[in-house]
Amino acid sequence: MSEPLIKICGLSTPEAVDAAVDAGATHVGLVHYAPSPRHVTLEQAAKLRARVPPRVKVVLLLVNEQPEPTARAIAAVKPDVVQFHGTETPEWLAALKQHTPLEIWKAFGVRDAEGLARSVKFKDAAHRILYDAPANKLPGGNGLAIDWDLFAQHKPFMPWGLAGGLTPDNVADAIRQTGAPLVDTSSGVESAPGVKDVDRIRAFCQSARNA
């Protein structure tokens, strides 16, 4: 198994972005969703995006945005990937996928094996599906983990990633148990909601690579 892709999400300061890049993250996530403690404005997101070297992909996270604000956000931030984290339909994502050269990711909350099976509806609508814990007060970033045993019998039908409750302490086990080709953390590398911890970012990336 090759080294996993590593996404550090919910970055909101230059220091956090630099830490993720320096630690070897392959993807950095910027959250444009006002209710989130990790929210950045489009202006802030564009400035942070400018700090990221070409070797690292920038993921812009949106939640239930209408087409016009989505287009405006993409134009302002110029991400490599747009991750949708709400109740977006396969039809809407498929249409967007046809009209943009960007990668489209869909976060999908999983509670049980049936939920995992239902994710197949996004097979042709996105480039990657990101399995997360079910939505709580926020669509993501709640620090809740998925039952990794669900993936024992799972036959991937598209590129995928694992999110939800991943920390420097458990990410290696998560990769070994699920075979996840990409791991995504947000609250797992924070000292407080929305406050990234440089040492935890470094430890997470190291643990993921060591898996």
Each residue of 170-184: pLDDT tens digit?
Answer: 999 999 999 999 999
How many domains would you assign to the chain? 1
- Is residue 89's pLDDT more than 60? yes
Tell me: the pLDDT tens digits for 95-135?
A: 999 999 999 999 999 988 888 999 999 999 999 999 998 76
Q: Single out the residue of 82, 89, 33 nearest to residue 59, CA to CA.
A: 82
Region 2-17: what's the mean pLDDT? 96
CATH code, 65: 3.20.20.70
Q: Single out the residue of 40, 144, 29, 22 nearest to residue 85, CA to CA.
A: 29
- Is residue 143's pLDDT more than 60? no
